[in-house]
Amino acid sequence: DAKTTQPPSMDCAEGRAANLPCNHSTISGNEYVYWYRQIHSQGPQYIIHGLKNNETNEMASLIITEDRKSSTLILPHATLRDTAVYYCIVRVGYRNTGKLIFGQGTTLQVKP
Amino acid sequence: EAGVAQSPRYKIIEKRQSVAFWCNPISGHATLYWYQQILGQGPKLLIQFQNNGVVDDSQLPKDRFSAERLKGVDSTLKIQPAKLEDSAVYLCASSSQGLDYEQYFGPGTRLTVT
């Protein structure tokens, strides 16, 4: 079973920041948080990952709480092309044997 | 850089028939994954290969599903015989050595079993 909990759906206005929350209260000290997204009729796409520090790349920012029990993915200026299902994942296992267990994710609808 | 290629993109078969899917990963990627995604759900890992060896096949229904990765490159996933509940999108992904959290997915094969 997935170790994360996400709201099933969210809306965001185009051009505004989209903040997608995720709860992972049972995360272990050495487990990373990963975010993927899946645009309709495409395969999932890696976005970002982090352990305990906040992370930023060209796609998004990841904010992890100090107790690591929750995190937020931030898309700073959402566009219509960001409409997708966003998956928050805590990987189970270790390098080369670890696996990603996808939950049902959050469907983000970006509206004009 | 070419992405993960899969074929066919769509397949319709009757129950009890057999079907095979093909995947060509990104060049140089040692790890290859097959996922099953049922409508409305997240992808579920079926099998993971490291080069041409199986790392994890705990979720593969071995009585009807089989997969191989000859020469550590291309892979095929077969279902024989198919059941109605096998209707899903079958996704192939690959990752490079030591970076297995960053998986690159193909477009998937949509299977409909009637």
Please write the tens of the pLDDT for every residue from A65-97: 999 999 999 999 999 999 999 999 987 665 556
Q: According to the model, what pLDDT value does residue A94 have? A: 59
Nearest to B42 among A32, A91, A104 (CB): A104
The residue with tokens 């997608």 is A20
Q: According to the model, what pLDDT value does residue A100 have? A: 84
**Chain B touched by A34 (CB under 8 Å):** yes
Nearest to A46 by CA among B47, B23, B4: B4
Angstrom distance (rounded) from CA B61 to CA B40: 21
Query: In the structure encoding, which two tokens stand for residue B65, read together?
Result: 């599903």
What parts of chain B have a pLDDT lower than 70? 1, 98-100
Beta pairing, strands A18-23 & B65-68: unpaired
Query: In the structure encoding, which two tokens stand for residue A14, read together?
Result: 């185009």
Tens-place pLDDT, residues A43-60: 999 999 998 889 999 999
Q: According to the model, what pLDDT value does residue A96 have? A: 56
Looking at beta carbons, which residues of chain A come within 8 Å of B48? 99
| Predicted confidence band of residue A1 (pLDDT cuts 50, 70, 90) | low
Average pLDDT, chain A: 91
Please give, rounded to a whole number of angstroms, the shortest distance from the CA of A98 to a CA of chain B: 8
